[in-house]
Structure 1
Amino acid sequence: MRFGVLAVGIGVITLAGCMTGSLVSTQGACTSSHAGYLEAWDCIKAEVAAKRAGQMNNDLGIRYMATGDAIAERVRRKELSDADARLLLARELSSANGEFEARKTAAAGVTCNSFQAEGLVTTNCY
């Protein structure tokens, strides 16, 4: 049997944990309530620090935070617009979620492979 998992932007998959208090819901809430990337990123970091954004103490969570900080630096230096910064952060979340799901299914004895094309991460499991 073959099925696919598609993680797009701010999808429904969490990095770790349930949807309540997930990074997906945190990123969605912060980016929709703050017009600028830097304000949205500060909101996300505050939620992570308060432990309201899912389990972040793993390699994917650490990579997400480092990526968000690097994007913020590029915005501060005026190398990226707010819209481009939001897109990059959404792609990072999508990529990390695809990797998380692939690892979870591999641990269950299912073989998965992920690939990224045009900003979307697609994971096929069989």
Structure 2
Amino acid sequence: MSAQEIPNGYNGYQRSDLAVDAEYLDLDENIIDTTTVGDEILEGVAVTNLGPYDATGVKVQITRSSPYPMTYLGHEVSWDAGTTWVSGDPSYSPLTDTWTIGNLPKGQVYKLVVHQQATAAGTAQFTAKVS
């Protein structure tokens, strides 16, 4: 899901997008502002392999600020740049906040969206590190 696909405030959602280049292991940070307890918040991670080679053994580790006022609701993964989504895909573990991609061919974009519910008003931050 890209920032263009889910506008901020769409259906009560807050959106954030994190693009990480698997080849260069870039890291971006996102801020999520929650305004109302009970809002569903989407954390989005997109991993793109810009090449020139296929990447193997790719993992993404998500870290959240503490205290993080969210409760996990579910997740979905797209292995085709957001065309189709697999709900509850086992490649992501909400217990360890690790997304195990494995092989990422050059030119491909894989996406993860984690659904959470705000349990408190405030600001939260998450980062993702790809390895």
TM-score under structure 1 length normalisation: 0.27
TM-score under structure 2 length normalisation: 0.26
Tell me which protein shows more helix as a share of its residues. 1
Tell me which protein shows more strand as a share of its residues. 2
